[in-house]
Chains A and B, each alone.
Chain A
Amino acid sequence: MKILYNVRVWMLLCSMISFVQVFAQQETFTISGFLKDAKNGEALIGANVYVQGNTSLGATTNLYGFYSLSLPKGIHQIEFSYIGYHTQAKEINLDKDIRINLELSDDSKALEEVVITSERKDENVKNTVMGKEELSTDRIKSIPAFMGEVDIIKAIQLMPGVQAAGEGNSGIYVRGGGPDQNLVLLDDAIVYNTGHLFGFFSVFNADAVKNTTLYKGAMPANYGGRLSSVIDIQMKEGNNKRFEMEGGIGIISSRLTIMAPFKKPKSTKTAKGAFLFSGRRTYLFDIAQPLLKKTDFAGTNYFFYDINLKANYQFSDKDRLYVSAYFGRDVFVYNSTKNQTNVKIPWGNATATIRYNHLFNDKLFMNTSFVFNDYNFSFSGRQTDFSFNAFSGVRDFNVKVDLDYYLNNKHKLKFGMMYTHHRMTPTQASAKSGDTDFESKINKRYSHELAWYAAHEYSVNDKLKFDFGFRLSLFQHIGPFQQVSGDNIIGYDTVYYKRSKPIKTYVGPEPRFAMRYAFGNNNSIKAGVALNYQYIHLVSSSNSTLPTDVWVQSSAIVKPQMALQYSVGYFRNFKDNMFEASIEVYFKHLWNQIEYGESYVNELNVDQELGYVFGKGKAYGAEFFIKKRTGKLNGWIGYTLSRSDRKFPDLNEGKVFPAKYDRTHDLSININYDINKEWSVGATFVYATGNAITPANTLSMIEFNPMIGYAERNSYRVPSYHRMDLALTYTPIPKRRPNRRWKSSYNIAIYNVYNRKNTYFIYNKIEGSTLTGDLKQTPINVSLFPVIPSFTWNFKF
């Protein structure tokens, strides 16, 4: 921990020095405004505004499309650009602060030609951010999709440093960390369970998503609360120009999205407000309903659905309001008339976000968010005169204020705070047998989570740029709560805590630092350090997360998880930005990592945290990435060589073992080729070292039945995982009216083209019995998905 302390002190010092340097500047003025999409009026996130011929003088739009660029007095050629959109250039005589709001139009009309994806030159070389990937939904849609369901999370899995949790699974492990260490945000709301159907599909309907950003390296100071990564997903805002509809019919689900202005604007103007509605539902089992109707199982069904809503309204040039909501559920119903049994299991997330943007002046932008989110799982079952119910979940209320202060072209400040009130409900069960009621008495947990942050982006000169950040987080477990200790021998002792009474408090200073040094032609070296705290945890016994997994908060027993990450990278662009390449290496220390004890068995009415054991970990690796950004053929290759170890005093006899997130090799190739304006093909290939599992190795007898012994933890590797997927998309352009608004496209995707039988799990088949003396165990390899073709029809209006 001494290293930690040194890093902290050093970073604070640097930060202070740079603040001092803010003063003593020449006379400058500010150009600021919003950049929007000409086709629907949506904010363009991460668009670039820069001075022609001087790529180091520039700004990027924030999540709401706002930019602010301060320049010396004089005449400047300013370029406004966004990937896949036409660049606009303006000559500006800067003698006062000015506002320029612009709309950029995309290149869709020019699809026949080579798509020129315009981006500020050398963007990835010039910024300080490392381990950041931005993915537009359009690009994600060109990736072959499993069962035709376009999946944002699975697209992220193709990035270096990011591993899929398992076959067809949308759970992710980032740089050797667990699935609970990823902060997944949908319009600022935390999504606690990102998967439908055991994670085979993610809860994000791609039609409703505009943009996805992944941070896996040194996290900027405005994010926190998780150790490994941030996946920041922005929903589409609604179309402020005209009515727009898109949807699709696939083999397992159908989708429909409607976007429209509240009031139709005149000609090419933009309406002040607009909304979006998007829905998706599966129907695989609905189709089977008529068949089940006459059987014993009438009414048995499984489906999931997602609903996304969003509205935006611009009160003035300086004030804008966004309201967004998400609601999704998986529902499983089981009926059996003969056995007088009914079971219903629904689970899912709900989120609601209200965001208010205010521009104080040309340099100071504020966003205030109010967020509600909820995840819950419930189970209700009945057989004859016996019934059983279980419930678990998380519910948060959150408020957040973020300020962006664009001081001048050398200094940019970000600061803000957030507060969350958590309520965590462990599995609470109740049952009724005959006339007797049973109820579990595990307490709900309540807590405050607070954070303040400040970040300072400082461009020393063309070559050198620093990003100093500091986040201070605070977590407090509060009452009402009752703590029971002891057993039936020494007796029980109960302590009661009143509502809001602090029970346990943790404070986490989280320094963040990033720097860039640019040199030569299109080269840069970047480095970063970040310390992160995580106060809420999800411990799962399976590889991925299950709907029944329960989030738990830090307490007197469960300390906050911590990670300190160092990373260094070399970035280079080739051929006038046609290729982007990078090599990043990282090293992570992990503390207070949590696992279940080796003899843990889930029990009702027993606090889960009593079954935990704690330890530390290390993760390190190198990531290689090359991306061809432009041309008919585009795509990327990512390769990661890494290791992730854990050491727990109470696991594996205290010896170091590989984490279940450990993958030695991980290769992802994604290629897209536009044959012509109507046809395009996509291909994905992935290769990864097999999962580490703990194999059974010994057999002994108790009451003439087997007792199984196990080898060292995670000491066996299942065969390596590899798979190729292909997709073909046909978007006919009507010969008579090539410009008509109605557009159809047909997509054929093939999952696992060469039918690789990847290991899903291994179990031992037991045959015979000890008593008859012919007991035999055979290891069986189970693979899940063979080659699966799918077909999807999409339309747009």
Chain B
Amino acid sequence: MSVHSYISTNSLSIIKRNRTFYSGMFLLLGTLFCILFFTACEKEIKLNVKSNPNEIIVEGHIENDLPPYVILTKSISLYDNININNLSNFFVHNARIVVSTDSDSVELVEYNSSILQSLPDSIAIAIAAQFGISIDSAAAFPDVSIYTVPLTNTNYVGVIGKKYDLRIEVNNQVLTSSTTIPAPVFFDSLWLLPHPNAAYADSFFQVYGWLQDPPTMGNYYRYFTKADNEPFLVSTQSVFDDNFFNGKAFQIFIPKGKPIGSNSSEFDFNTDGYWDIADSVCTIKLCQIDKPHYDFWRTLEANRSSQGNPFGSFVLVKSNIVGGKGVWGGYGSITGSYVRVP
């Protein structure tokens, strides 16, 4: 843990994620504390804590021009190790899932990731990329199960401005939720800058965008980045709102997302958020989300970062699922790219 990393998390993300800066303030002070009391001693211990696993966790999304999808998993006891063989134990099968608007509805069907490639490209690529799996490697995943539209109804896609209800029936439980797809907003322009530290300028560069926030308060953003043909990736802090900059136009640093499953507690100041010099097409997807959806990501990201912070308190994730945990979120997205000229 270095002072460096905290400073960088702060300043890189300030405008983009104003709250990061605020928590960065604590972290910076925390670092000072660590330096002063380098005598701190760490020891592995055993905690005898009761847990209540097997809660149903919903991860479902609907985006403009894309079909809805839902991943159903279960919670496990914290100290159960996860290995590649029991990954499948996470997934909840045989659920009845219905997505509906005021005028229409669709019942989702369950697919295994190993057959993702057999789906029509329009669904498969989009869905795989959606949660960070490259279509080529998807087959390598045993038993990742996804609920999405049936092959007979592949044109059921999200429409901007609509409200989508979700109803899940599984194991005698009923879970419900509802979300909206807000009108999207995108950067007026994108540009590149070299890495600020000359020593790294040969290997990395930065991407900036010019954002005009809409005049009304209450815009909630989530962004994804994609380099060349990689999947869309998110940063450890992927959401921000316009509380601090409502209606303004300004420049914003766009950090490159981290590969999924990477350890969020590891942070390299000089490389994290920077784009690789080999990346030639820098694609950004900027989504508008509604407040409950935003609250989910905001609290989840805090839930992850509050782990092990002696100055912070634990954060429970705010879910918009009635009868369960997780999220049902709509994305109003626009995707744009900066193509680098070699």
Interface residues of A (CB under 8 A from B): 197-198, 284, 300, 302, 332, 334, 336, 338-341, 343, 345, 379, 381-384, 386, 388, 390, 427, 429, 431, 433-434, 436, 438, 440, 487-489, 492, 541-542, 546-548, 596, 598-606, 694-711, 716, 757, 760-786, 788
Q: Are B84 and A701 in contact (CB under 8 A)?
A: no
Q: Are B132 and A704 in contact (CB under 8 A)?
A: yes
- Taking CB atoms, residues of chain A closer than 8 Å to B46 are 779
Q: Are B36 and A783 in contact (CB under 8 A)?
A: no
Q: How far is the CA of A489 from the CA of B216 in the complex (A)?
A: 10
Q: Are A302 and B260 in contact (CB under 8 A)?
A: no
Q: Are A772 and B51 in contact (CB under 8 A)?
A: no
Q: How far is the CA of A492 from the CA of B313 in the complex (A)?
A: 31
Which single residue of chain A is at the shortest CB-CB distance from B258?
Answer: A705
- Taking CB atoms, residues of chain A closer than 8 Å to B322 are none
Q: Given that A606-B243, A700-B325 are contacting pairs, would A434 and B251 also be in contact in the complex, using a CB cutoff of 8 Å?
A: yes
One of B36, B49, B75, B219 near A699 (C-beta < 8 A): B75
Name 7 interchain pairs, CB-CB below 8 A, sorted by A: A433-B252, A603-B18, A699-B77, A699-B80, A707-B303, A709-B316, A769-B262
Q: Are B22 and A764 in contact (CB under 8 A)?
A: no
The prevalent SS among residues of A at the interface is strand
Q: Are B4 and A548 in contact (CB under 8 A)?
A: no
One of A343, A700, A779 near B55 (C-beta < 8 A): A700
Which single residue of chain A is at the shortest CB-CB distance from B18?
Answer: A604
Q: How far is the CA of A771 from the CA of B52 in the complex (A)?
A: 24
Q: How large is the interface on B (under 10, 10 to 19, 20 to 34, 35 or more residues)?
A: 35 or more
Q: Given that A433-B250, A770-B82 are contacting pairs, would A700 and B74 also be in contact in the complex, using a CB cutoff of 8 Å?
A: yes
Q: Are A386 and B49 in contact (CB under 8 A)?
A: no
Q: Are A599 and B317 in contact (CB under 8 A)?
A: yes
Q: Are A785 and B82 in contact (CB under 8 A)?
A: no
B115 within 8 A of A: no
B342 within 8 A of A: no
Q: How far is the CA of A341 from the CA of B218 in the complex (A)?
A: 32
Q: How far is the CA of A671 from the CA of B231 in the complex (A)?
A: 67
Which single residue of chain A is at the shortest CB-CB distance from B58?
Answer: A702
- Taking CB atoms, residues of chain B closer than 8 Å to A767 are 263
One of A386, A603, A605, A762 near B47 (C-beta < 8 A): A762
Q: Given that A433-B250, A604-B244, A702-B327 are contacting pairs, would A782 and B40 also be in contact in the complex, using a CB cutoff of 8 Å?
A: yes
Which single residue of chain B is at the shortest CB-CB distance from A699?
Answer: B78
Q: How far is the CA of A757 from the CA of B326 in the complex (A)?
A: 39
Q: How far is the CA of A487 from the CA of B241 in the complex (A)?
A: 13
Q: Given that A757-B43, A775-B81 are contacting pairs, would A438 and B300 also be in contact in the complex, using a CB cutoff of 8 Å?
A: no
- Taking CB atoms, residues of chain A closer than 8 Å to B21 are 388, 429, 431, 604
Mark the stretch among B23-31, B119-127, B152-160 that contacts chain A: B23-31
One of A343, A602, A696, A784 near B40 (C-beta < 8 A): A784
B291 within 8 A of A: yes
Q: Are B78 and A780 in contact (CB under 8 A)?
A: no
Which single residue of chain A is at the shortest CB-CB distance from B144?
Answer: A704
- Taking CB atoms, residues of chain A closer than 8 Å to B10 are 381, 388
CB-contacts of B15-62 with A (<8 A): 15, 18-19, 21-23, 25-26, 28-29, 32-33, 36-37, 39-47, 49-53, 55, 57, 59
Q: How far is the CA of A197 from the CA of B252 in the complex (A)?
A: 34
CB-contacts of B67-99 with A (<8 A): 73-85, 87, 90
- Taking CB atoms, residues of chain B closer than 8 Å to A700 are 55, 57, 73-76, 325-326
One of A302, A601, A711, A776 near B315 (C-beta < 8 A): A601
Q: Mark B292-311, 1 if CB is under 8 A from A, else 0.
A: 00010011101110011111
Q: Given that A771-B260, A783-B43 are contacting pairs, would A436 and B250 also be in contact in the complex, using a CB cutoff of 8 Å?
A: yes
| Highest count of chain B CB atoms <10 Å: which of A302, A603, A716 | A603
Q: How far is the CA of A696 from the CA of B76 in the complex (A)?
A: 12
B7 within 8 A of A: yes
Q: Are A707 and B300 in contact (CB under 8 A)?
A: yes
- Taking CB atoms, residues of chain B closer than 8 Å to A440 are 244
CB-contacts of B127-175 with A (<8 A): 131-132
